[in-house]
Amino acid sequence: MNEVELLNWVRGPGLNIAIGIFLLGTIWRLFEIYSLGRKKDLSAPRHTAGASGWNTIARRSLAPPGMLKRSPISYIGGYVFHVGLAIVVFLFAPHIELIENLFGLSWPALPSQVVDLATVVTLAAMVLVLVDRINKPVKRYLSTVEDYFTWAVTFLPVLTGYMAVKHLLLPYTTMLALHILSVEILLVVLPFTKLFHVFTLFMSRWYNGQANAHKGVPV
């Protein structure tokens, strides 16, 4: 298989397979988790303003008092790379074009220089959180192979995308093929690893917020 064939494969069958596994995997996993259900709370509720599942979904995006100081890299690195990823994935013109071709939806893009900058910053933030994971005793203690693996499959699409756009190291076609391939790997593993938190975190926050709202505590 030469690079053109590879590119054709990743753009055609490869992409379909990846999206298929991603969608079916996601639906299956959501079913597996949420079909477990839960019991109704029979105690008399207490009502307090600002306490609800929805409130917690929003509130948990901010660092609770004192936490930023205790773990600055987690928060700052975390914000930067999550926001950076969102910019790179959703506001880069070629990505929007692809989404338009696939689903018919489109929105304005950011200038490519801005996306370039966001990419570099995202990569840097990801390296920083990786170093932090290795350095910080608690993070290192909790980390499993999966944590490093999921880091890598998230990092590679950003890196290869940047290298393709900048024509670095390998010819554009090859790099683009690798970029798409790496995205497909990401899509395939997402439902089955901790990357699935992109979906479950909203429900987790909601459950926690709702259970504590029942007691009148905004969490």
Partner 1 sequence: MSASLDKGVAVLKEMIDAPIASYFESCVHCGLCAEACLFYTETGDPKYTPIHKLEPLRRIYEQEYTLLGRLAKLVGLSKPVTDDELEAWKELVYNSCTLCARCSLVCPVGNDIVYMVRKFREGMAVSGHAPDGLIGAVTRTIEIGSPMGVKLPAVQAQMKHVQDETGIEIPMDKEGAEYMVMLSSMEIMNFPEYLGAIAKIMKQAGKTWTLCSTAFEATNAGIQIGVSDLAKVIVNRIVEGAERLKVKTVISPECGHAYTALRWDGANLIGRPYTFKVLHILEVLDEFRSQGLLKTEGFETTRMTFHDPCQLGRRGGVVEQPRNLMNMVTKDFVEMDDPGKYNWCCGGGGGVSANEEAEELRLEVFKIKKRQLENVGAKTMVTACANCRIVLEEGLEHYQMDIPVVGLTELIAEHLAPDK
Give yes or no for residue 26 binding partner 1 (CB under 8 A).
no
Stretch that binds partner 1, among 39-47, 89-97, 108-116, 168-176 (CB under 8 A): 39-47
Q: Which stretch binds partner 1 (CB under 8 A): 10-18, 88-96, 168-176, 198-206?
A: 198-206
Q: Which of 38, 103, 104, 105 binds partner 1 (CB under 8 A)?
A: 38
Reported for 70-77, long-range contacts at CB under 8 A and 24+ positions apart, including other chains, are 73/128, 73/129, 73/132, 73/136, 74/129, 74/132, 77/125, 77/128, 77/129, 77/132
Where in 144-173 is the site for partner 1 (CB under 8 A)? 144, 147
Q: Does 131 bind partner 1 (CB under 8 A)?
A: no
Token duo for residue 19? 């999206």
Token code pair at residue 83? 């926001």
Q: How many residues bind partner 1 (CB under 8 A)?
A: 58
DSSP 216: T
Residues 52-91 that bind partner 1 (CB under 8 A): 56-57, 60-61, 64-67, 70-71, 74, 78
Among 91, 163, 170, 219, binds partner 1 (CB under 8 A): 219
* Residue labelled with tokens 């390998």: 170
Tokens at residue 85, please?
């990823």
Under the criterion CB under 8 A, does residue 95 sit at the interface with partner 1?
no
Residues 6+ apart with CB under 8 A from 37: none
**Cβ proximity to partner 1, 109 vs 211, nearer residue:** 211
Q: Does 197 bind partner 1 (CB under 8 A)?
A: yes
How far is residue 161's CA from residue 168's CA, in Å, rounded to a whole number? 10
**Amino acid in position 74:** S
How many other CB atoms are there within 10 angstroms of residue 190's CB atom?
23
Q: Does 116 bind partner 1 (CB under 8 A)?
A: no
Q: Is 20 in the site for partner 1 (CB under 8 A)?
A: no
- H or E segment and range at residue 138: helix 137-142
Min CB(194)–partner 1 separation in Å = 6
SS3 content of the chain, % helix, strand, coil (to 5): 75, 0, 25
Applying CB under 8 A, the residues found at the interface with partner 1 are: 28-29, 32-39, 41-44, 46, 48, 56-57, 60-61, 64-67, 70-71, 74, 78, 136-144, 147, 192, 194, 196-197, 200-201, 203-209, 211-212, 215-219
